[in-house]
C-alpha cells in the first residue's frame, strides 16, 4: 500500500497492477472519515442553495434538504471523491495517463471506505535515441529554362480548344465515339454488374494516347475517320479497378462519331495576360518563382521524410492499444476517401478491405510512435507553441477556406480542434529543429 493525500484530511491508498504494456489497473481506497466529511461538505452546499416550498432559498432545514436531494448529493460526492482520488493517485505514482479511465465502483456509502478500480492507458516508456546529427542526403537541383517552358506548355494545355477535323485519327487527337463492350461473349455487366459505363457509352471522348481509357484501346482507332466502325480488343490489367474484369479480355464495337484535334494557344504576351501577368517575360518570372518554391518544398519534404525514417528506426517501444486503434480508423477513413475520390467502387473497396486495414495499421503504428517521439523531444528541448503562432495558423487556415477568422476559431473550439492544431504546429517545429540539427550531405540529383 502506498499513501498520499488529497489534502490534510484525506488519505489515499493505492495499489498498481500492470495489465499489459501501456495499461495499468489502479485500486484506490479512501477512508470512511474522508467520505463522511465529503458528504457533510456537499450537503451544506446544497442546503445553502436549496429552494423548498415554504422556505426562503438557503433556509430549508437540513433534514428536508437531505431527503429531497439525497440522490443528487450522493452523485456529487461520488463524482468529486473519485475524480480527486484518481488525480491524486496518478500524482503519487507519477503516472502519465492517456484519455479517460474506465472506473469500476467497488464500495461507496456513508460510514464506509470508498473503493474503486481505474483501468487506464499510460504514456509508453522508452529512452529517447540520439536525435541530433541524423544523417540526411539532400539532392542538389535547380530550376532550368526547360522546366519553365514545360510549365508554360502545361498552362497552355489548360486553354486547349477542340476543333473538328475532316481527316483520319492520329495520335494526340480526341476521338468522339459510341461503343458497346462485351466480355466472354456477353455484355460486360453480365460479368461486372456495376460496370455499366464500360458496357455502353454514347458520344464518349477518348484521348488517342497509349494509356488513355483502357491501355491499348485508343491506339486501335488510329487511321479511322468519322463514320468508320472498329472492333477493339483489350486485355484488362491484373490490377484493374473493376475486380471482376481483372485479367480478362474485353471486346468493344466502336463507331467513330467525330475526330477532334487539339489547338493550343500561342504562348505570347496576350496569353500571359490570362494569368494577370504584364507580359510573357513577367509570366516566365512568376512561373520560375513558383517552380523554385515547389522544388524547395519537395527538397524539405524529402529531408524530413529521411529524418522521420531514421528516428523511427532508432528505437522500439510498446504503444497504447486505444491510440493505435483510433489512428488506424483515421487512416482507413483517409484511404477509403481517397479511393472513392479516384472513382474506385464501394464493391472494390470492400473486396480489398483486409489489405486496406493491414496497410492502415502499419501506417498508424508509425504515426503514433512518431507522435510520442516528437512529444518527448519537444519536452526535452522546451519547444512550445505560442498563442501568437496558434492565432497566425488560424488566420492562415481561415483565409484558405475563405471563412472569417473569428468564426473559424469558434468552429474549431466547438469541435475541440484547438489541441489538434497545437499538436500540428508543435510537430512542424520539432521537425524543423531536427532538420536544423541534422547532418546534411548535399548530393547530385539522380539522373532523370
Tens digit of each residue's pLDDT (9 = 90 or more) over 257-284: 999 999 999 999 999 999 999 999 999 9
Q: What is the pLDDT of residues 194-228, one digit of tens each?
A: 899 999 999 999 999 988 899 999 999 999 999 99
Share of the chain above pLDDT 90, in %: 80
- Residue 161's φ and ψ, nearest 5 degrees, are -110, 145
Q: What CA–CA distance (Å, rounded) separates 298 from 147?
A: 15
Over residues 312-347, the pLDDT tens digits come to 999 999 999 999 999 999 999 999 999 888 877 788
3-state secondary structure 176-243: EEEEEEEECCEEHHHHCCCCHHHHEEEEEEEECCCCCCCCCCHHHHCCCCCCCEEEEEEECCCCCCCH
Number of CB atoms found within 10 A of residue 322's CB: 15
* CATH H-level, domain 2-122: superfamily: Trigger factor ribosome-binding domain (3.30.70.1050)
Which regions of the chain carry the CATH code 3.30.70.1050? 2-122
The lowest-confidence range among 58-67, 126-135, 357-366, 418-427 is 58-67
Task: Indicate whether 384 pLDDT > 70.
Answer: yes
What residues does CATH 1.10.3120.10 cover in the chain?
278-444
Q: What is the structure's pLDDT at 58? A: 67
Three-state secondary structure string covering 42-68:
HHHHHHHHCCCCCCCCCCCCHHHHHHH
Write out pLDDT tens, residues 62-87: 778 778 788 898 999 999 999 999 99
Kindly report the pTM of this predicted structure. Answer: 0.74
What confidence tier does 56 reach under pLDDT thresholds 50, 70, 90? Answer: low
Tens-place pLDDT, residues 162-183: 999 999 999 999 999 999 999 9
- What's the confidence (pLDDT) of residue 352? 85
Domain formed by 278-444, architecture: Orthogonal Bundle (1.10)
How many other CB atoms sit within 10 Å of the CB of residue 368?
19
What is the average pLDDT across 229-244? 91
* Cell, residue 207: 484521348
pLDDT value of position 6: 41
Cβ–Cβ < 8 Å for 360, 332:
yes
Residues spanned by CATH 3.10.50.40 within the chain? 161-263
Identify the band that residue 7 occupies on the pLDDT scale cut at 50, 70 and 90: very low
Establish how many alpha carbons lie within 13 A of residue 84's alpha carbon, considering only the half-sphere containing its beta carbon. 19
Radius of gyration of the chain (CA): 34
CATH architecture of 161-263: Roll (3.10)
Task: Report the range of poorest mean pLDDT among 19-33, 122-136, 346-360, 366-380.
Answer: 346-360
Mean pLDDT of the chain: 91
Amino acid at each position: 500500500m502506498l499513501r498520499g493525500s488529497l489534502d490534510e484530511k484525506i488519505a489515499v491508498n493505492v495499489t498498481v497492477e500492470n495489465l499489459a504494456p501501456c495499461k495499468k489497473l489502479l485500486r484506490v481506497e479512501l477512508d470512511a472519515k474522508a467520505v463522511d466529511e465529503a458528504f457533510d461538505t456537499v450537503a451544506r452546499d446544497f442546503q445553502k442553495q436549496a429552494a423548498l416550498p415554504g422556505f426562503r432559498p438557503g433556509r430549508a432545514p437540513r433534514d428536508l434538504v437531505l431527503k429531497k436531494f439525497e440522490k443528487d448529493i450522493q452523485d456529487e460526492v461520488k463524482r468529486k471523491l473519485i475524480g480527486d482520488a484518481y488525480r491524486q493517485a496518478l500524482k503519487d505514482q507519477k503516472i502519465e495517463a492517456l484519455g479517460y479511465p474506465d472506473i469500476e465502483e467497488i464500495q461507496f456509502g456513508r460510514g464506509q471506505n470508498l473503493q474503486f478500480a481505474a483501468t487506464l492507458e499510460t504514456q509508453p516508456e522508452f529512452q529517447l535515441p540520439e536525435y541530433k546529427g541524423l544523417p540526411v542526403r539532400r539532392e542538389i537541383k535547380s530550376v532550368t529554362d526547360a522546366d519553365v517552358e514545360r510549365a508554360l506548355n502545361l498552362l497552355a494545355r489548360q486553354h486547349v480548344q477542340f476543333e473538328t477535323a475532316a481527316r483520319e485519327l492520329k495520335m494526340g487527337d480526341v476521338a468522339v465515339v459510341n461503343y458497346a463492350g462485351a466480355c466472354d461473349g456477353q455484355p460486360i455487366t453480365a460479368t461486372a454488374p456495376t460496370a455499366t459505363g464500360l458496357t455502353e457509352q454514347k458520344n464518349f471522348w477518348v484521348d488517342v494516347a497509349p494509356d488513355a481509357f483502357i491501355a491499348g484501346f485508343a491506339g486501335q482507332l488510329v487511321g479511322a475517320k468519322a463514320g468508320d466502325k472498329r472492333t477493339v480488343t483489350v486485355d484488362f490489367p491484373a490490377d484493374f479497378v473493376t475486380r471482376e474484369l481483372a485479367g480478362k479480355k474485353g471486346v468493344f464495337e466502336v463507331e467513330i462519331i467525330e475526330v477532334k484535334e487539339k489547338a493550343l494557344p500561342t504562348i505570347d504576351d496576350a496569353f500571359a495576360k490570362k494569368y494577370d501577368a504584364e507580359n510573357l517575360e513577367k509570366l516566365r518570372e512568376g512561373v520560375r518563382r513558383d517552380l523554385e518554391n515547389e522544388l524547395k518544398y519537395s527538397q524539405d519534404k524529402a529531408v524530413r521524410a529521411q529524418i522521420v525514417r531514421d528516428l523511427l528506426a532508432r528505437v522500439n517501444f510498446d504503444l497504447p492499444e486505444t491510440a493505435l486503434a483510433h489512428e488506424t480508423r483515421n487512416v482507413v477513413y483517409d484511404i477509403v476517401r481517397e479511393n472513392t475520390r479516384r472513382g474506385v467502387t464501394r464493391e472494390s473497396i470492400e473486396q480489398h478491405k483486409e489489405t486496406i486495414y493491414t496497410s492502415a495499421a502499419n501506417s498508424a503504428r508509425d504515426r503514433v510512435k512518431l507522435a510520442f517521439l516528437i512529444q518527448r523531444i519537444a519536452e526535452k528541448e522546451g519547444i512550445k507553441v505560442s498563442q501568437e503562432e496558434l492565432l497566425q495558423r488560424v488566420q492562415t487556415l481561415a483565409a484558405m477556406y475563405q471563412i472569417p477568422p473569428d468564426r473559424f476559431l469558434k468552429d474549431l473550439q466547438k469541435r475541440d480542434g484547438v489541441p489538434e492544431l497545437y499538436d500540428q504546429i508543435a510537430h512542424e517545429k520539432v521537425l524543423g529543429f531536427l532538420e536544423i540539427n541534422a547532418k546534411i550531405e548535399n548530393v547530385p540529383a539522380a539522373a532523370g
